């Protein structure tokens, strides 16, 4: 019995120890004159004290001043460069556009020293019918449409159909790389597409073409359809002939490299 009482007393003491509250109660009155309390309050006031604002503003003002100086330097450099690049009032004035005022007929065409022999009675145009280079094809087409508008017969020399015309033009102009189209009127060299267009717009081309006979509207060659080439009648366009005497196949010398000849109906 005595042992049981002792165990109950121990359990009650341990439970009471565990059930104790660990909360701390601050004293109702604090002595501010105590040296430790005075030191604690002083440290707390020093931590809560804000930083000196005037010093911060001074540092910001100095930074702003430096930025403004740099900005003024760059702006002055830009203004000087822009002022130097600005055109002067004389340069700013619109430049007059130079336009030909004299008649091209009185000047003797464009280049009278360049001539195409045996073509004094016709208009010769060196051109191409291939559309490999769009700008070249459009220029050739535009020039031909101008001449067809006058209902004139034109000796079209297509270098894509016959390489001999290209060599002929190179020898006449004495240049290796020729541009197309190239126009000759009455054996005299006129120029390219730009010259023909400008002459047509100014009315000079109509004056030059007054002497040429006009064709009927819608007229076209029945043999070639105004293509100016037909298949070779000797070899039928094959460029090959069989020699009965030698028993060999030979090259036909009456046609060009494409087996074509000039139309005998409209190009004689």
Judged on CB neighbours under 10 Å (0-12, 13-18, 19+), 237 is middle
**For position 49, what pLDDT does the model report?**
53
pLDDT tens per residue, range 107-149? 445 567 899 999 999 999 999 999 999 999 999 999 999 999 9
d(CA 186, CA 152): 13
pTM of the model: 0.59
Cβ–Cβ < 8 Å for 137, 191: no
Taken as a whole, the chain contains a residue count of 268
Q: Quick check: 191 and 182 in contact, CB under 8 A?
A: yes
Which positions ≥6 away from 197 have C-beta within 8 Å? 142, 143, 146
What average pLDDT does the segment 95-102 reach?
A: 43
* Residues 123, 182: Cα–Cα separation, whole Å: 11
**DSSP summary character for residue 174:** T
For the segment 196-243, what is each residue's pLDDT rounded down to a tens digit? 999 999 999 999 999 999 998 888 899 999 899 999 999 999 999 998
pLDDT attached to residue 2: 55
What's the chain's Rg over C-alpha atoms?
A: 52
Domains in the chain (CATH in brackets) are: 105-214 (3.40.30.10), 224-268 (no CATH)
Region 237-265 average pLDDT: 92
């Amino acid at each position: 019995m005595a042992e049981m009482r002792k165990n109950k007393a121990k359990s009650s003491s341990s439970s009471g120890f565990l059930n104790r509250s660990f909360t701390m109660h601050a004293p109702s009155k604090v002595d501010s004159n105590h040296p430790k309390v005075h030191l604690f309050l002083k440290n707390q006031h020093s931590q809560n004290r804000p930083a000196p604002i005037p010093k911060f503003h001074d540092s910001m003002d100095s930074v702003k001043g430096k930025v403004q100086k740099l900005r003024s330097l760059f702006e002055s450099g830009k203004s000087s460069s822009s002022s130097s690049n600005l055109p002067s009032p004389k340069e700013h004035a619109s430049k007059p556009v130079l336009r030909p005022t004299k008649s091209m007929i009185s000047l003797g065409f464009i280049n009278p020293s360049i001539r195409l022999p045996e073509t004094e009675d016709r208009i010769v145009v060196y051109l191409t019918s291939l559309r490999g280079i769009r700008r070249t094809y459009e220029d050739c087409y535009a020039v031909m449409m101008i001449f067809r508008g006058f209902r004139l017969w034109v000796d079209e020399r297509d270098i894509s159909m016959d390489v001999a015309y290209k060599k002929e033009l190179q020898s006449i102009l004495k240049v290796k790389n020729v541009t197309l189209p190239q126009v000759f009127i009455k054996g005299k060299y006129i120029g390219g597409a730009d010259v023909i267009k400008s002459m047509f717009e100014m009315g000079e081309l109509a004056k030059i073409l007054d002497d040429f006979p006009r064709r009927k509207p819608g007229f076209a060659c029945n043999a070639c359809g105004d293509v100016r080439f037909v298949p070779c009648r000797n070899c039928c366009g094959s460029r090959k002939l069989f020699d009965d005497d030698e028993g060999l196949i030979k090259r036909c010398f009456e046609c060009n490299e494409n087996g074509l000849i000039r139309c005998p109906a409209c190009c004689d």
